[in-house]
Amino acid sequence: KYFAAMGHVVWIVLVSFIIAVTVGVLIMCLDGTISVEWNTESQNSRENHREEVNKNSILSVHPGSYRSCKDEAVNVSGMYNIRGEDESSSFVAYCEQEKFNGGWMVIQHRFVGTLDFDRHWKDYRNGFGAVNGEHWLGLEQVYQFTKQQDCELLVELKDFDGTYKYARYDLFRIGSETEQYKLKTLGEHSGTAGDSLIYNKGMKFSTSDRDNDEKYNGNCAVECDAGWWFNDCGLTYLNGLYRNVDGPDQNNIAWYDYNNDWRALSYSRMLIRPLD
């Protein structure tokens, strides 16, 4: 009887062990299945997101190509292909279709300070940044565009208090690279920001590695940490350092006639538009 009872107990323990192991294996398998399924779903989600981002990047440039932003028929602000004289000189630009009756092409934009504007000549020539964000379109693109047609210039500015002002010039044209992208034509001024750019009229473009300014001793691009059409350095340099520090020696984004002082600006945007 004793051995029979012990055999019964051993049998119960053995069966319990087998059940426990089986359940454990099932749980591990189930957990593995769930884990694989979750990982697969997570991976699919990431891939779908990546696909969506790529899709949006492709679709972010509107279809077609245009001679200027004024020719864009639907009048929706965004990125467009702008035709040059030939295929090789075509480029993508941001078209502003709401401000001042639209048709404007953005050639410079700053608003958060994430993009470094202390660049060499080739960067200013070719352009840098993202055209739907902070950027410099490129001197060569601006030259090619303004040599084909008479253009006007709009400069939009804000200080760190959020006050908005603007300056408009009824003519704007720059020279070729051979001419050092000289600010050849600057027309009559109008607007609320004052005329600080007049002192740069006729000036060649300067960068830290190409000194074309009128300063007797020194390079304004080095002193101001920016490329610009410097005179003897002048009263404006919209490509200066992005920071909220006032003063003539702070090298910040400046437009002196904004308020007849050297207050730092938090926002600048330069736009051009054909007159015809």
**Do 112 and 148 fall into the same domain?**
yes
Buried/exposed 167-187: b ≥16 CB within 10 Å, e otherwise: bbbeebbbbeeeebbbbbbbb
pLDDT (0 to 100) of residue 75? 86
Q: Which of 12, 29, 59 is the C-terminal boundary of a domain?
A: 59
Q: How many domains would you assign to the chain?
A: 2
**Do 55 and 68 fall into the same domain?**
no
Bridge partners for 80 per DSSP: 93
**Do 124 and 49 fall into the same domain?**
no
- Domain residues for 6? 1-59
pLDDT (0 to 100) of residue 32? 40
Percent of the chain with pLDDT over 90: 66
**Do 251 and 231 fall into the same domain?**
yes
Q: Which of 59, 83, 99 is the C-terminal boundary of a domain?
A: 59
pLDDT (0 to 100) of residue 276? 78
**Do 144 and 262 fall into the same domain?**
yes
- CATH code of 168's domain: 3.90.215.10
**Do 69 and 54 fall into the same domain?**
no
pLDDT tens digit sequence for 206-263: 999 999 999 989 999 999 999 999 999 989 999 999 999 877 667 899 999 999 988 8
CA distances from residue 155 to 83, 145, 243, 267, 270 in whole angstroms, order as listed:
23, 17, 19, 10, 5
pLDDT (0 to 100) of residue 64? 85
Mean pLDDT in residue range 153-162: 98
Global pTM value? 0.78
pLDDT (0 to 100) of residue 170? 97
Range with the poorest average pLDDT among 31-40, 74-83, 102-111, 262-271: 31-40
**Do 71 and 46 fall into the same domain?**
no
pLDDT (0 to 100) of residue 63? 86
Burial class (CB in 10 A: 0-12, 13-18, 19+), 89: middle
**Do 55 and 71 fall into the same domain?**
no
**Do 156 and 93 fall into the same domain?**
yes
**Do 87 and 124 fall into the same domain?**
yes
Q: Which of 9, 28, 59 is the C-terminal boundary of a domain?
A: 59
Tokens 């012990």 locate to 6
**Do 150 and 244 fall into the same domain?**
yes
**Do 43 and 74 fall into the same domain?**
no
Mean pLDDT in residue range 132-136: 97
